[in-house]
Copies of this chain bind each other. A is one copy, B any other.
Amino acid sequence: MPHLTLEYTNNLPDYDAQAALRTLAQAMFESGLFGEADIKGRAHCLATYLVGTSDTATAFVHLQVALLSGRSAEQKQALGQHLLAALRTTLPPGHGAVQLTVDTRDMDRQSYAKAVLAAVS
């Protein structure tokens, strides 16, 4: 916890997903809501996608943030806006039309299970 899942369409050919994950994880950490080592992110380049009902040249970048239940509605709203601002900075210069979206969702704290294992020597 928390988990970041970043998706971007492959008509953003210069999108640096690894750098974007660093930017977004930093924004998460700056929120003060999470421990640094707990932030886990992954990015997926989308090869088969659609905006609207027919093929278009529009791009999109979507971030899902999954965090343990317990944060207030105000904290989640502020986090969503903070991450959206961070997401804007990850776009390559000269990008085409693009939609940016951030979905913040709760994970059920009671049933969430976790183990942190050291390296096996």
Contact = CB atoms under 8 A, between A and B. Distances in A.
Interface of A: 1, 3, 7, 9, 17-18, 21-22, 25-26, 28-29, 36-37, 39-44, 46, 48-55, 58, 60, 62, 66, 73, 76-77, 79-81, 83-84, 87-88, 91, 93-108, 110-121
Identical copies in the complex:
3
A104 B115 contact: no
A40 B97 CA distance: 14
A108 B101 contact: no
A107 B103 contact: yes
Nearest to A77: B111
B54 A49 contact: no
Contacts of A26: 53
